[in-house]
Amino acid sequence: MDAATRKAKLQDLKSNQNNQAMTGIPLRYKGTTRTEIVWRIPLDFLIYNKYNGRIGSVVLSYEKQNGDLNPEADSDREIIEKFLYESKVDRNKTTMDSLLKNGQQKYGIVTADGIIIDGNRRAMLLNRLYHKHQELGYSYAEVEKCQYFLAIILPDDAEVRDIQQLETIYQMGEDEKLDYNPIEKYLKCKQLKGSGFTERQIAEFMSEKEGQIKEWLAILSLMEEYLQEYGYEGIYTRLEKTEGPFVDLRNYLDSYAKKGANVRNVDWNYTDSDISDLKLVCFDYIRARYEGKEFRDIAKTGKDGSIFFFKELWEDFLKQHQEKTPQDEESVEELRQRCPGEDLSLLLKQRDNTWVEQAKGQLKGNLNRFSRRLEDRRDANKPADLIERALSALKSVDCEQDSFFEDPRIAEMVKEINKITWDMKKILDRR
């Protein structure tokens, strides 16, 4: 059913008061609060909003790889329904049970030509219950009520900006936004910014502070740099479970660029090029799904500092990283050409997994070694602690191992250790 037909059907529906489900419903619209009617609308008169805030990242990623989705086409509608259902399977099962037992408790909002602005997930579940009731084991009598969607129908004068504002307010401005994939809020900010809304307006729509919106836009910009680095531009699904490290990295890079008080303990005069190197190294660790203390040891700012704080540590760490971290065996384009008929999302996930499997030993080993060296630098004013750690490490060495005799570095290091301890003894004897 095309837009003109849907619009005519909805207009005709509004001429019959028997189709009214509720009256006197307040709706914030074009800067005022209106009183609206909630209508009982056949689901066949409606189509999904494919850029719904719940699945925006998945749809954008899909379209980047496969072309635009058309919600009016049955095959594409099924894809959108699949995305909506898989976005929160457990939550959807619970909501389906509620819809079946209690009916639709929360009304939605649709445009004059039948695009669902708020309530895509509920409409999908009603469709699922009604059209697949036999497959799900329900009788027609049990699901008969599920063929209707309760919603406010917007006036004809609703423009794209009005629709986007309403969608944001009623989806991501409410408590339910906690149920959304973290990446969706970043993409929603970008979409609204691209439509001409200011950070202040977006903040009002999303019940956030203006500074938070600016921060989210900056974090998304960093995320998009990351995607470009690996040839994944526009494929936002590759950002799954990476929000925390990007939030941290954005703060670190900003602090280093501004050279504020929280980096005053850095012991060298780094440049913008050095900050860029730091960013690319951190991208590799984010790709390997590092987070927490291990990730922060690379770049964090503040009193305790990080590997980047110390010129000697950082340059050695960077050199080891650049020399030993493997490169991808195939570019994304080469992967497309070799597997033209396969799902690119799955191929890219496999590509990442292959790279991580090859790189994880080097990444982990290099970070562990330099994290220990970082601890030693932090404890430079605690000689007893450092010597105790060194003594414990030396006592743990198995001198019977063949590698103890075969590795030529060991003899050199033993000489260096002997020299250092002899110098320490002389210093102590002088006191």
Say how far apart CA 62 and CA 323 lie, in whole Å. 35
Number of structural domains the chain divides into = 3
Domain assignment present for 146: yes
141 and 41, same structural domain? yes
119 and 57, same structural domain? yes
Domain assignment present for 110: yes
pLDDT by residue (tens digit) across 382-396? 566 666 667 777 788
Q: Which of 177, 200, 233 is the last residue of a domain?
A: 177
Q: Which of 177, 196, 221 is the last residue of a domain?
A: 177
**Least confident stretch, 72-76, 201-205, 299-303, 391-395:** 391-395
Domain assignment present for 261: yes
8 Å CB contact between 138 and 100: yes
pLDDT surpassing 50 at residue 83: yes
418 and 348, same structural domain? no
pLDDT by residue (tens digit) across 255-296? 999 998 899 889 999 999 999 999 999 999 999 999 888 889
61 and 113, same structural domain? yes
Q: Which candidate, 53, 50, 91, 57, places its Cα nearest to that of 243?
A: 57
Say how far apart CA 34 and CA 32 lie, in whole Å. 6
pLDDT surpassing 70 at residue 381: no
Q: What share of the chain is helix, strand, coil (3-state, %, to 5)?
A: 65, 10, 25
- Residue 161's pLDDT is 79
| Percentage above 90 pLDDT, the chain | 56
Domain assignment present for 335: yes
**Least confident stretch, 16-30, 34-48, 51-65:** 51-65
Say how far apart CA 386 and CA 399 lie, in whole Å. 22
Sign, CA dihedral 395-399-403-405, equals positive
- Residue 138's pLDDT is 92
- Residue 164's pLDDT is 82
Domain assignment present for 173: yes
149 and 21, same structural domain? yes
Phi, psi of 26 (to 5 degrees): -75, 140
171 and 24, same structural domain? yes
User: Which two structure tokens, joined as six digits, stand for 187?
Assistant: 């993409």
Q: Which amino acid is at 185?
A: K
Say how far apart CA 155 and CA 426 lie, in whole Å. 89
Say how far apart CA 201 and CA 222 lie, in whole Å. 23
406 and 342, same structural domain? no
Say how far apart CA 79 and CA 70 lie, in whole Å. 10
Q: Which candidate, 128, 41, 117, places its Cα nearest to that of 89?
A: 128
pLDDT surpassing 90 at residue 224: yes
Q: Which of 140, 158, 177 is the last residue of a domain?
A: 177
DSSP bridge pairs for 258: none
Helix (H) and strand (E) counts for the chain? 20, 5
81 and 38, same structural domain? yes
Please provide the average confidence, as pLDDT, over all residues in the chain. 88
Domain assignment present for 105: yes
pLDDT surpassing 70 at residue 179: no
Where does the pLDDT of residue 111 fall: very low under 50, low under 70, confident under 90, or very high at 90 and above?
very high
**Least confident stretch, 33-47, 262-276, 298-312, 411-425:** 411-425
| Percentage above 70 pLDDT, the chain | 95
Where does the pLDDT of residue 175 fall: very low under 50, low under 70, confident under 90, or very high at 90 and above?
very low
HSE toward the beta carbon, residue 66, CA cutoff 13 A:
14
pLDDT surpassing 60 at residue 103: yes
Averaged pLDDT, 22-36: 87
Q: Which amino acid is at 301?
A: T
Averaged pLDDT, 110-127: 93
Q: Which candidate, 244, 177, 236, places its Cα nearest to that of 206?
A: 177
Domain assignment present for 183: no
What contacts 161, CB < 8 A, 6 or more positions away?
195, 196, 197
Averaged pLDDT, 190-195: 90
252 and 166, same structural domain? no
Domain assignment present for 285: yes
What contacts 178, CB < 8 A, 6 or more positions away?
none
**Least confident stretch, 176-190, 246-260, 324-338, 372-386:** 372-386
pLDDT surpassing 80 at residue 413: yes
Higher pLDDT, 368 or 418: 368
421 and 379, same structural domain? no
403 and 379, same structural domain? no
8 Å CB contact between 54 and 224: no
Structural domain including 302 reads 241-383
pTM to 2 decimals?
0.77
pLDDT surpassing 90 at residue 180: no
pLDDT surpassing 70 at residue 160: yes
Where does the pLDDT of residue 144 fall: very low under 50, low under 70, confident under 90, or very high at 90 and above?
very high
Give the three-state DSSP class for 210.
Answer: helix
- Residue 380's pLDDT is 58
- Residue 37's pLDDT is 96
The DSSP result for 142-193, as a single string, is: HHGGGGEEEEEEPPTT--HHHHHHHHIIIIITSGGGGGS-HHHHHHHHHHHH
106 and 54, same structural domain? yes
Where does the pLDDT of residue 1 fall: very low under 50, low under 70, confident under 90, or very high at 90 and above?
confident
